[in-house]
């Protein structure tokens, strides 16, 4: 990426080059829930130097071609989200909470911040698991129904705007929890006396943050706008 326009939306930066996602994470620039913010505005709000940020982003290797999910239709995209992100979360969250408890029990006396880390990990799991279920059992089936319809389908709700609004609110809350995890661990920095389990926990927390941010980006900034456009194509709902 040779030049980056400061007025580019954060979501558009990641759509153009997904390799920018971890850099934005490390800079504390929210491209998922805050994906509709312009780069310049987000940088100013974070108190960063715009020239330095653009330099770091411009140095990132450009992805070859568009991401594999960019051209998917509605039904394909919800299938992709389920098989990629939902499956990963369901496999990861139980072990992550167990590991957080183990590290807290071993190192909590010397590193009391681990008590909050463990609490936040448990809260994230409690929030995310029913969130995934609501998407898989309620919202995503309606999106598949909408995608297959030749005329406006008779959904269980008049419009998908309402369930999408609920999902957006829940995304915001999980994003806040992840932000508190990053802040409380100094960006997932393992202390000098951290053991292998300590390092494994922080590596997994960083992976959770990266995967969830990309997951939410695909829904907030790609899937949900496409759903709303599909509904509008049938006329006012």
CA distance 80 to 76: 6
Residue 52: HSE in the Cβ half-sphere, 13 Å Cα cutoff = 7
pLDDT in tens, 19-33: 899 999 999 899 998
pLDDT in tens, 108-135: 999 999 999 999 999 999 999 999 999 9
CA distance 91 to 89: 5
pTM (2 decimals)? 0.86
Domain ranges of the chain: 10-58, 74-233
What is the phi/psi pair of residue 215, to 5°?
-55, -50
pLDDT band at residue 148, thresholds of 50, 70 and 90?
Answer: confident
More confident residue, 95 or 17: 95
User: Angle, to 10 degrees, between the axis of helix 224-233 and the axis of helix 140-148?
Assistant: 40
Output the six-digit token pair for 228: 């709303």
Mean pLDDT, residues 183-203: 95
User: DSSP state, 93?
Assistant: H
User: DSSP state, 26?
Assistant: H
**pLDDT tops 80 at residue 234:** no
User: DSSP state, 62?
Assistant: P
pLDDT in tens, 204-233: 999 999 999 999 999 999 999 999 998 888
């Amino acid at each position: 990426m040779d030049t980056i326009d400061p007025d580019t939306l954060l979501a558009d930066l990641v759509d153009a080059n997904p390799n920018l996602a971890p850099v934005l994470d490390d800079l504390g620039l929210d491209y998922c829930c805050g994906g509709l913010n312009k780069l310049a505005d987000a940088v100013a709000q974070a108190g960063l130097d715009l020239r330095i940020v653009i330099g770091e982003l411009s140095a990132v290797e450009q992805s070859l071609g568009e991401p594999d999910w960019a051209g998917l239709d509605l039904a394909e995209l919800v299938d992709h989200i389920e098989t990629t992100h939902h499956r990963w979360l369901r496999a990861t969250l139980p072990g992550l909470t167990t590991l957080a408890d183990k590290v807290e029990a071993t190192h909590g006396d010397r590193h009391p911040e681990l008590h909050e880390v463990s609490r936040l990990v448990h809260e994230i799991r409690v929030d995310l698991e029913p969130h995934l279920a609501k998407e898989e059992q309620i919202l995503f089936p309606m999106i598949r129904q909408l995608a297959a319809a030749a005329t406006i389908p008779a959904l269980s709700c008049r419009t998908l705007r309402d369930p999408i609004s609920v999902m957006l609110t829940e995304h915001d809350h999980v994003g806040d929890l992840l932000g508190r995890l990053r802040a409380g661990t100094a960006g997932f920095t393992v202390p000098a006396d951290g053991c292998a389990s300590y390092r494994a926990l922080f590596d997994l927390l960083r992976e959770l943050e990266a995967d969830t941010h990309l997951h939410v980006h695909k829904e907030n900034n790609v899937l949900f706008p496409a759903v709303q456009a599909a509904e509008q194509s049938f006329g006012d709902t």
